[in-house]
């Protein structure tokens, strides 16, 4: 039984092929470790990143570190297969567009739980929305699997190409944060995201703007966020501190 | 060849020779021949009969031609509005899928009868009421006719419907505009939903307001805008076209991303900025849009030369 001492505020991304990932985790102490198979893993490291997971998941997971694996939508089947080992808490699926994608991944996780001796229903599913289709279909998506524990607002400024508006926000950003909040609360999910501003492109935001983005998201009802870099862990933890 | 670039579309009244005869010299990408709100009830029938000849007057400078019909008179207006040379029929205050289907059927019959390629005229629902906003997804999927771009959710009629002031210093239409924009983006329809610029003066003829509006739309990634006054045309056409610097930067980003991709990497930097798949896709949009604008400008320039000689 895991001893959870905190909310899941900071979800730190570490590339699954990074040989120094254990040091990074020890140094930054995020609430949640996200072993990445997606954006931070260039194509030539994908195989190696998948192969590392068996060992990494079992060695890193301790009583106070929760491990998630972020899968790549384009290779989600192989990625789930590579990630499902004892010690894993959940899967993060970015860029979901519709309900059927969740039903399919849920079934795959079911099968792998059985095969690998993991308690049925143990593996959580966290989704991060990045597309207009995903936001439009949000309510159906959130009801597609009982494993689904959290929903996040992802790189929408980048994937949906939402430029800045004179109100010093990304176009549509506040609406999509609110829409996700309402649907997420309705279905009892944790809300992940930060109120990013156009001068703090998510992945490269500095510590100050990261903390501010987290504080403002907390005021809206969000309780955690993906940290694209380890340096964002501390400001996220502070910003979401309750 | 003319294309669908519509950085600015402006309303003209076919019944007023002062406007309709000069419109082509103003440089608009599109002109909207209006049979609706700018035409008095007693003038509607005369206006209808003027639409066909107005097309070739207004498009002499290479502009696309739209016709805005009346919601209560769809059956009466469409036979006077559907002609070769019309790119778009604008259906005001659209609220239901049935209204779209009804107009679509009439347009389809007229296209056939008049030798216009079937489905080539766009049917553009104008969302100007709360009911229209709520029903947006059904409206956009109601007919088998391509909708190229979609905006709406604000404006005079919406203000009346909501019982609020049109000119305010805060974005009173944030929710309907965002909802309509999301629906169109989810359906792969280009979204033109406006960006809020405070305007409490109520004036719509100041070109400095147009410059602000163009800059804000351009930064937000929106390619289209409307105008009520010719003073808005030039600043909007110019302001929504990618600049030389933007085009050069986009080319450099694409080159850099090709370099990093060719060695199996996915993230690099260029002049201190991140270059990745997202920046690459954004750069491609810039280049595609620049090309379309150039094509439109070339078409307009040639048309203008022919008309002036």
Full domain range(s) for residue A32: 10-239
Confidence of residue A3 (pLDDT cuts 50, 70, 90): very low
Yes or no, beta carbons of A171 and B185 under 8 Å apart: no
Residues B90 and B215 in one domain: yes
CATH number at residue A171: 3.20.20.60
Residue A1 domain-assigned?
A: no
The domain tally of chain B equals 2
In a domain, B1, yes or no: no
Q: How far apart are CA A223 and CA A240, in angstroms?
A: 6
Classify residue A2: in a domain, yes or no: no
Residue B156 lies in a domain: yes
Closest residue in chain A to residue B182, using alpha carbons only: A132
User: Does pLDDT of B37 surpass 60?
Assistant: yes
Count other C-beta atoms under 10 Å from residue B181's C-beta: 27
Q: What are the chain B neighbours of A156 within 8 Å (beta carbons)?
A: none
Assigned domain for B110 exists: yes
Query: What pLDDT does A63 receive?
Result: 72
Average pLDDT, stretch B114-122? 97
pLDDT of residue A16: 97
Q: In what order do the strands lie in the sheet with A88-94?
A: A190-192, A148-153, A124-129, A88-94, A66-71, A32-36, A10-15, A225-227
pLDDT (mean) for B55-64: 97
Distance from CA of B231 to the nearest CA of A (A): 22
Range of the domain at B24: 9-239
Yes or no, beta carbons of B221 and A159 under 8 Å apart = no
User: Percent of chain B scored above 90 by pLDDT?
Assistant: 86
Task: Tell me if A140 is assigned to some domain.
Answer: yes
pLDDT digits (tens, 9 = 90+) for A134-162: 999 999 999 999 999 999 999 999 999 99
Tens digit of pLDDT for each residue in B208-266? 888 999 999 999 999 999 988 899 999 999 999 999 999 999 999 999 999 999 999 99
The predicted-structure confidence for A110-136, as pLDDT tens digits, reads as follows 999 999 999 999 999 999 999 999 999
Spatial CA neighbour of B114 closest among B70, B78, B164: B78
Average pLDDT over residues B10-16: 96
Q: Are residues B220 and B278 in the same domain?
A: no
Q: Would you give the end-to-end CA distance of chain B in angstroms?
A: 20
**Residue-level pLDDT at A204:** 65
Q: Which residues of A23-60 are buried (b: 16+ CB within 10 A; e: fewer)?
A: ebbeebebbbbbbbbbbbbbeebbeebbebbeebbeeb
DSSP A98: S
pLDDT band at A1 (very low <50, low <70, confident <90, very high): very low
| Residue percentage of chain B with pLDDT more than 70 | 100
pLDDT for B95 beyond 90: yes
Return the structure tokens found at B269.
């930097």
CA distances from B32 to B6, B36, B40, B67 (A): 11, 11, 17, 5
- Which tens digits make up the pLDDT trace of B162-219? 999 888 888 899 999 999 999 999 999 999 878 888 877 777 777 788 899 999 999 9
**What does the block give as tokens for B72?**
């209560």
ipTM for the predicted complex? 0.94
Residue B3 lies in a domain: no
Beta-sheet strands, E only, within chain B? 9-12, 30-34, 64-68, 88-91, 122-125, 149-150, 190-191, 226-227, 268-270, 273-275
Q: Test A176 with B281 for CB contact under 8 angstroms.
A: no
- B162 and B85 both lie in a single domain: yes
Tell me, what's the pLDDT at B201?
Answer: 77
């Amino acid at each position: 039984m895991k001893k959870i001492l905190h909310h899941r505020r900071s979800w730190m991304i570490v590339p699954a092929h990074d040989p120094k990932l254990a040091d990074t985790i020890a140094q930054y102490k995020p609430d949640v470790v996200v072993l990445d198979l997606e954006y931070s893993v260039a194509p030539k490291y994908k195989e190696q990143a998948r192969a590392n997971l068996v060992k990494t998941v079992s060695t890193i997971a301790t009583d106070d570190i929760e491990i998630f694996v972020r899968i790549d939508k384009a290779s989600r089947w192989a990625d789930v297969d590579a990630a499902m080992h004892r010690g894993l808490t959940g899967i993060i699926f970015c860029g979901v567009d519709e309900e059927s994608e969740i039903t399919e991944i849920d079934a795959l996780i079911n099968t792998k739980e059985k095969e690998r001796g993991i308690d049925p229903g143990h593996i959580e599913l966290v989704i991060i929305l990045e597309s207009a289709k995903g936001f439009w279909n949000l309510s159906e998506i959130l009801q597609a699997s009982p494993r689904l524990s959290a929903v996040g607002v992802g790189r929408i400024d980048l994937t949906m190409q939402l430029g800045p508006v004179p109100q010093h926000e990304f176009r549509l950003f506040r609406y999509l944060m609110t829409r996700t909040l309402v649907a997420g609360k309705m279905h009892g999910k944790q809300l992940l995201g930060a109120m990013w501003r156009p001068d703090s492109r998510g992945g490269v935001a500095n510590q100050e703007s990261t903390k501010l983005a987290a504080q403002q998201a907390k005021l809206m009802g969000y309780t955690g966020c993906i940290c694209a870099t380890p340096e964002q862990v501390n400001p996220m933890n502070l910003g979401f501190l309750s | 060849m003319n294309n669908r670039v519509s950085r600015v579309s402006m309303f003209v009244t076919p019944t007023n020779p002062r406007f309709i005869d000069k419109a082509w010299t103003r440089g608009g990408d599109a002109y909207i021949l209006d049979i609706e709100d700018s035409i008095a009830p007693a003038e509607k029938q005369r206006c209808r009969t003027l639409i066909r000849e107005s097309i070739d007057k207004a498009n002499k400078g290479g502009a696309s031609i739209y016709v805005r019909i009346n919601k209560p008179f769809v059956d009466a207006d469409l036979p006077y509005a559907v002609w070769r040379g019309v790119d778009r029929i604008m259906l005001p205050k659209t609220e239901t899928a049935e209204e779209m289907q009804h107009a679509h059927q009439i347009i389809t019959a007229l296209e056939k009868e008049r030798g216009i390629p079937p489905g080539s005229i766009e049917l553009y629902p104008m969302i100007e009421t709360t009911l229209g906003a709520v029903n947006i997804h059904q409206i956009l999927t109601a007919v088998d006719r391509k909708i190229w771009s979609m905006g709406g959710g604000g404006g005079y009629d919406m203000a009346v419907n909501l019982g609020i002031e049109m000119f305010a210093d805060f974005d009173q239409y944030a929710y309907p505009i965002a909802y309509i924009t999301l629906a169109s983006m989810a359906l792969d329809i280009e979204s033109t939903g406006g960006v809020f610029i405070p305007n409490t003066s109520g004036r719509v003829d100041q070109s400095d307001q147009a410059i602000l509006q163009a800059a804000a739309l351009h930064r937000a990634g929106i390619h289209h805008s409307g105008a009520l006054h010719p003073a808005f045309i030039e600043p909007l056409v110019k302001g929504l076209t990618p600049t030389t610097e933007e085009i050069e930067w986009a080319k450099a980003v694409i080159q850099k991303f090709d370099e990093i991709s060719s060695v199996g990497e996915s993230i690099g930097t260029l002049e201190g900025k991140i270059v990745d798949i997202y920046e690459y896709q954004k750069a491609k949009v810039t280049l595609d849009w620049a090309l379309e604008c150039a094509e439109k400008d070339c078409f307009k320039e040639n048309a203008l030369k022919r008309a002036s000689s």
